Homo-oligomer: A and B are copies of this chain.
Amino acid sequence: MFSFKILKKEGKARTGVISTTHGKIETPYLIPVATLGSVRALDSDDLHALGAQCSLANTYHLYLRPGEEVLKKFNGVRGFMHFDKPLFSDSGGFQAFSLGFGMEHNINKLGSIFPEGRRVLPTKKKMAKVTGKGVKFQSVYDGTWHFMDAKKSMQIQSVLGSDVIMAFDECTSPLSDKAYTSKALERTHRWAKDSLKYHDKKQALYGIVQGGWFRDLRVESAAFINNLGFKGIAIGGSLGKSKKDMHQILEWVIPLLDDRPRHLLGIGEIDDIFECVSRGIDTFDCVSVTRNARRGSVYISPRNGGRFKNKFRINIKSARFKGDTKPIDPGCSCMVCKNYSRAYLRHLYTVNELSYFRLASYHNVYFMLHLLDSIRKSIKEGTFKQMKKKWLM
């Protein structure tokens, strides 16, 4: 069972409801990512307490650990992680990039999207090789080699038991030239049809629009993917060299898509959410929410000094919070802000207490889910544009 109903539009922004066998997801929504069957530093009980509507798991990682045999025993990832809400999974295609050209082109995951901010890492040997047939890749855990194609990806995602699955695709590098990107797109389109053919019909399959930052390729891909029988459309990276490029790509692609749900893969920070919702995106997934928390970056709202400029974050490590009795975000009603001070969280971070990671992650996820609640409400009330302006000023 899968359906999508748009409830209200404001410009291109829209709010709606995705219905699946395991529950409904009100959109726009930022899906908390449980790469390996756990949203980093949180457990499923936390996700339920946070009111998370759904989660997203990672095919590549779960295929390697714990593997299909174990997951079958639990009827999939939901049973394994004891999560009773809808689950999305990605296709493993992104890892083909990050282990392949991501390694060779010396760019990390974030850098693949916005290379101006990339970390310079020593160039490594590729751990993945893409051919017309599929992707040969090496396990990050034990170095063993594996092969994945559309059929295999569909088979694994069937074992994962996710409600929403993704077509197998090739995510290109922002440093790939047009000739390579075009060839990769041909493969992605062929694999899209294979995915449709081989996927478990109980699962809702999303097609993925690729094409790098080349307008004609993106237009071609949007039209092609939109015309196949997918339940939803995802837009994959590389999304250009800057946030402006990303917005441009969405403006090329989205007008060519019909009213099925639209997912933007691997995005977003707070400003991205506003910019992409206003261009018609319905769902997002991004690990930065919890990664920021682990690095000491915790979200604050505009009324407490959160700005586009500071990325709506404070650095809890800062000495200025040493004796600060206020919660992270005064006015936030999450368990962490109700119970603990900035000084306490700074202390836990400073002395390396494990409890820090859960508390900071809990706050950041709560903050984002709450922000998305407000965004949905604002679209219903026709005040999204004002809200966006207020946040991004």
Contact = CB atoms under 8 A, between A and B. Distances in A.
Contact of A70 (B39, B45, B347): B347
The 9 A-B residue pairs with the shortest CB-CB distance in the complex, in nearest-first order: A41-B354, A66-B347, A38-B355, A38-B353, A82-B339, A43-B355, A354-B357, A70-B323, A36-B351
A343 interface: yes
Contacts of A102: none
Interface stretch (A73-81, A144-152, A217-225): A73-81
Given A70-B347, A74-B344, A82-B339, 6 more contacts: A36-B353, A39-B355, A41-B358, A65-B350, A66-B343, A358-B358
B354 A358 contact: yes
A44 interface: yes
A341 interface: yes
A322 interface: yes
Contacts of A371: none
A340 B82 contact: yes
B354 A354 contact: yes
A324 to B, nearest CB: 9
Contacts of A359: 43
A45 B353 contact: no
Give the oligomeric copy count.
Answer: 2
A354 B37 contact: no
A42 interface: yes
A40 interface: yes
Nearest to A350: B65
Contact of A40 (B80, B141, B323, B353): B353
Interface string A314-327: 00000000110100
A6 interface: no
Contacts of A81: 344
13 contacts: A36-B348, A36-B351, A36-B353, A37-B344, A38-B348, A38-B353, A39-B355, A40-B355, A43-B340, A43-B355, A44-B339, A73-B325, A358-B358
A1 interface: no
A69 interface: yes
A340 B46 CA distance: 13
B355 A42 contact: yes
Nearest to A294: B354
Interface of A: 36-45, 61, 65-66, 69-70, 73-74, 80-82, 141, 294, 322-323, 325, 335, 339-341, 343-344, 347-348, 350-351, 353-355, 357-359
Contacts of A340: 43, 82
Nearest to A339: B82
B347 A65 contact: yes
A359 B46 CA distance: 11
A41 B355 contact: yes
A357 B41 CA distance: 9
Contacts of A325: 73-74
Most buried by B among A38, A80, A322, A355: A355
Contact of A343 (B41, B70, B348, B357): B70
B343 A40 contact: no
A270 B37 CA distance: 33
A40 B74 contact: no
A343 B74 contact: yes
Contacts of A36: 347-348, 351, 353
Given A82-B339, A347-B37, A322 B43 contact: no
A338 to B, nearest CB: 9
B335 A45 contact: yes
